[in-house]
């Protein structure tokens, strides 16, 4: 049986200690090993703020919220409480370097950027710093993700081009605070995310495999007669109790069942798969270095609520103490360069030329305290 290595009470106590401590010097925290913000490592990767010396930082006031945007600290869903906010800065640097002996032409870069969610405020500070001659734009897919597009017609041999963005991020702890006994299954997903729930499986969910279908039906029988909340909690508990945390490349929901191990991606994929097979709308939430699922249920008034769960680490169900920036929500995104659907919006680049240029995207979290939270590894008895 799994057992979290860090209790919620201990974590909240640590938060109180941090709140009362003097402000520390800003430090830069680079993302974990997976470039698309989905590694479970809890290392802060902190460095001295001098790493930013020599780079101009635009310190203009943050842009005001757009009309109709979420007010900081005010939940648009009265059933979800937003508590204990933390604010910090996130710097994103995308860079393309042409080979020493060849120019790069018609360069196009696409990458996810943070956007507003009920539990997150993302404000761009100043304007994007773009290489002269390049173009920059952003696209927002409501309820799913925001992406940046950076284009430059020519990068001479041995030179580079890029864009630098600086955001102010505010994240809130979430807690579902309404009665759960009357929650029911929705007739379908909200309109803004409907294209995430097509007949074809999302990559890695493997919902048609007999082993995943069989496990779901077995758990449905075990929780027959219980309300929707308890049914979903049964999927969550089985995943936590039967899948041991082991970090690695993404291998899918089926791998978690067959090998009884996986990291946050396998465990979230398994939970989401079982929920969807049982008629529960569910999706993955992708934050810097981690992901976790959330599910969607209706209350007695027919109002829908997105409710978070943590399948690895602290036993949070209906609550989430997570402060790292959210980059996207969902499990099925179209990659325009590969021309296929992928599990998350990738950081990707294409260019014309004899030799492919070097492409990097760096995330630097500038915070005066550790926003990574507790370890997300489970231990087994």
CB atoms within 10 A of CB 198: 10
For 212-261, the pLDDT digits (tens) are: 999 999 999 999 999 999 999 999 999 999 999 988 888 889 999 999 99
Contacts of 240 (CB under 8 A, 6+ apart): 2, 267, 311, 312, 315, 378
The CA distance from 267 to 309, in Å, is: 11
Domains 22-53+78-174+347-380 and 175-329 share a fold: no
Concatenated DSSP letters for 106-167? EEEEEEEE---BTTEEEEEBS--EE-TT-EEEEEEETTTEEEEEEEEEEE-TT-EEEEEEEE
For the domain made up of 175-329, the CATH class stated in words is alpha beta
The CA distance from 217 to 230, in Å, is: 15
For 171-210, the pLDDT digits (tens) are: 999 999 999 999 999 988 888 888 888 766 788 898 999 9
Question: What fold is seen in the domain 22-53+78-174+347-380?
Answer: Immunoglobulin-like (2.60.40)
Q: Which residue shows structure tokens 């393309």?
A: 96
Read off the DSSP letter of residue 339. Answer: T
> What is the value of pTM for the model shown?
0.78
CB atoms within 10 A of CB 337: 11
Pick the more confident residue, 110 or 199: 110
For 126-172, the pLDDT digits (tens) are: 999 999 999 999 999 988 999 999 999 999 999 999 999 999 999 99
Read off the DSSP letter of residue 33. Answer: S
The CA distance from 314 to 378, in Å, is: 8
H or E element: which one contains 228? helix 228-242
- Where in the chain are the domains? 22-53+78-174+347-380, 175-329
């Amino acid at each position: 049986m799994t057992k979290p290595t860090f209790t919620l009470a201990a974590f909240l106590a640590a938060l109180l200690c941090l709140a009362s401590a003097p402000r520390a010097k800003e430090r830069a925290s680079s993302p974990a090993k997976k470039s698309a913000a989905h590694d479970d490592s809890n290392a802060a990767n902190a460095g001295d703020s001098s790493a930013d010396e020599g780079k101009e930082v635009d310190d203009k006031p943050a842009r005001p919220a757009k009309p109709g945007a979420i007010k900081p600290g005010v939940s648009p869903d009265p059933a979800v409480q937003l508590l204990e906010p933390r604010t910090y800065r996130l710097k994103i640097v995308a860079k393309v370097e042409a080979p020493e002996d060849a120019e790069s032409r018609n360069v196009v870069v696409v990458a996810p950027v943070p956007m507003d969610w009920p539990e997150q405020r993302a404000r761009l500070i100043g304007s994007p710093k773009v290489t002269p001659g390049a173009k920059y734009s952003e696209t927002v897919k409501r309820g799913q993700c925001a992406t940046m597009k950076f284009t430059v017609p020519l990068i001479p041999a041995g030179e580079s081009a890029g864009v630098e963005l600086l955001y102010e991020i505010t994240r809130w702890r979430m807690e579902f605070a309404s009665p759960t006994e009357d929650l029911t299954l929705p007739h379908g997903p909200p309109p803004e995310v409907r294209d995430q729930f097509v007949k074809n499986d999302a990559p890695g969910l493997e919902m048609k495999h007999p082993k995943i279908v069989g496990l779901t039906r077995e758990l449905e029988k075990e929780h027959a007669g219980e309300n929707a909340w308890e049914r979903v909690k049964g999927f969550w508990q089985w995943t936590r109790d039967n899948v041991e945390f082991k970090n690695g490349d993404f291998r899918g929901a089926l791998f978690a069942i067959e090998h009884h191990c996986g990291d946050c991606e396998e465990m979230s994929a398994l939970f989401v798969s079982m929920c969807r097979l049982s008629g529960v709308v569910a999706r993955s939430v992708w934050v810097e270095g981690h992901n976790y699922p959330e599910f969607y249920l209706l209350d007695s008034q027919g109002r829908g609520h997105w409710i978070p769960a943590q399948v690895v680490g602290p036993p949070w169900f209906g609550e989430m103490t997570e402060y790292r920036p959210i980059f996207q929500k969902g499990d099925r995104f179209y990659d325009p360069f590969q021309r296929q659907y992928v599990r998350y919006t990738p950081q990707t680049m294409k260019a014309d030329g004899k030799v492919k240029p070097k492409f990097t995207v760096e995330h630097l979290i500038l915070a005066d305290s550790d926003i990574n939270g507790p370890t997300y590894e489970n231990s087994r008895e």
